[in-house]
Amino acid sequence: MPLENRRFFAAQAWVAGAWARDVLLEIDTAGHWSSVQSHVPVSARQDARVLAGPVLPGLVNAHSHAFQRAMAGLAEQRGAQGDDFWSWRERMYAVALRISAAQLEAVATRLYTELLAGGYTQVCEFHYLHNAPTGAAACDPLEMSMALVRAAQRSGIGMTLLPTLYMRAGFEATVLREQQQRFASSPQRIEALLDGLGHACRDLPKVNLGVAIHSLRAADAQAIQEVSALADARQLPIHIHIAEQEQEVRDCLAHTGLRPMEWLLQHLPLNPRWNLVHATHTTDAELRGVADSGAHVVLCPSTEANLGDGIFDYPTYAAHGGAWSIGSDSHVTRAWAEELRLLEYGQRLQRRQRNIGAGFGASASSAANLFEAALAGGVAASGQPLAGIAVGQRADWVVLDGEAGALCGVPPESALDATVFSSPGAPLLAVYVAGQQVRTAPRDDDGFAQAMRALWAA
C-alpha cells in the first residue's frame, strides 16, 4: 500500500531521548524515516501534515501469548486449594487446549488492536500452540501460526513470530503431560516451521521471524543447544522464559546443580540477540553475567504481579548496564504506560524510595529513562529497526491527546512523565506503523465476542 503522506510536522516530538520542538518528519517509500529535523521554520513545513499532539515513538511489546487474552480477568477467584502460578497454569491449559485457529485469530485481532491503542506498534508473539485442539484432527503445521499472522495483518501491527520449542513436562520428565500435547515440538519441527513461515510471509514487510525456547524445564540441554545454534545460523532473535518462579529455581538446582540463570550462562553463548523473559529470581552475579553478555531481559510487570512471581531486581541490573525490553505477556493490561508505571512502583514499594528509574539513564526523569531503555531493548527483541524517531528506523509513532485530562495544562517537558504517572493516561489520537495510520478502535465484526462465548461455554 503506498504511503498517503511522506511529510509530517509535530510541534513536539520525542527525538534522541528528549522532547524536540517544531519537528519536520519525512518518510521514504519503504516506511522508514528519511529525515528528522527540529526547530524548522514555518516556511519549511508548509506542505506537511500537522500532527495534533505530542508525538512518541511506538514501542515493541516484547512478550505476548495472544491466546491468554481470552482469560484476562477470568482467573481471579481463589480455588479451594489456594492459588498460585501453578494453579493458574492449569486454568491456562484449559484455554490452550480448546481454542481453535479461527478463535485464536479473532482473539488475537482484538488483542493487537488493543495493543496499538496502548502505544505498541510491534508484538513479539511467543507461540507454542503448534498442534490441533484436543480431540480435533491434526492441523496443517502452519495453521495456528498463520492465524496469528492474519490477526497482525488485519490489525496493522508489526509482528515478530517466535515458534517455540516445548518437549517435556519438567526437569525430571522426558515427555509432555496429556494437557501439554498441543505444545509438542522439536528442534527439527521448529526449523521446518521457520522454513514454512518464511515462505508464507515473504511478501509481508511487517512480519519477521525469531525462535523461542519455552523454558529450561520444557526441553533437554541438547535440544536447547540445537535451537540456539539454529538462531545463530540464521541470525534470529531468540527468547526464553527463565527464573520466573522460585519453584523453578529449586527444581533446576535439584536437577542440574545450578540455578536457571547460572545454567544458561554456562551452557549457551548468550549474545545481544538473546531475550530472557522475566529473570525474576536472580542473583547479583547472574545479572552481571547477563549484562556482560549483551543479552536482554524482557520484563512483564503486570503479569509478574498478577501471577505473584515476584519483583525483578531492577536497580542491580541497571547498575550493571543491563539492557531490557517490556512486554504484556498474559495481557491483563495492554498499554506500555501501565507496564512502566508498575515497574517503577514495584521498585518504590520494595525500597521505600521515589524515582528509582531516574537513577539509571541520562535523564532526571524516571519515565524518560524507562521509556528509552524499553525503546532500545525492543530492537533486540524484535530484530527490527524500531529504535525511535531517527533516520533509518521504521516510521512507527503515536500521537498523544495533549488536551486530555492527564496532559491538559502540563508543561511540555513533563508530557512523558504525566503519560506514565498520571492515570488514566491520555488516549492516543492516532497510531502509525511504517508510516501508515492504523485503526485503534475494535471492529464489531472481528469475531472476538463470539470466540469468547464459545470458549467459555465449552
Residues with a known catalytic role? 278, 329
Q: Of 21, 12, 11, 8, give the one whose Cα is nearest residue 48.
A: 8
**What's the CA gap between 279 and 167, in Å, rounded?**
21
CA distances (Å), 139 to each of 128, 133, 177, 231, 356, in order?
Answer: 14, 9, 20, 26, 49
CA angle 167, 172, 178 (to 5 degrees): 50
Q: Which triple of cell numbers denotes residue 8?
A: 509530517
Of 392, 306, 386, 394, the closest CA to residue 346 belongs to 306
- Read off φ and ψ for residue 13, nearest 5 degrees: -145, 150
- How far apart, in Å, are the Cα atoms of 79 and each of 39, 73, 84, 87, 95? 59, 15, 10, 9, 17
**Chain mean position to CA 366:** 20
Residue type, 442: P
Cα angle: 410, vertex 413, 414; to 5 degrees: 50
DSSP code of 12?
E
CA-based R_g, the chain, Å: 21
Please provide residue 445's backbone torsions phi and psi, each rounded to the nearest 5 degrees.
-100, 20
Phi and psi at residue 82, in whole multiples of 5°? 90, -175
Tell me the C-alpha distance between 99 and 144, whole Å.
10
- CA distance linking residue 63 with residue 382, whole number of Å: 10
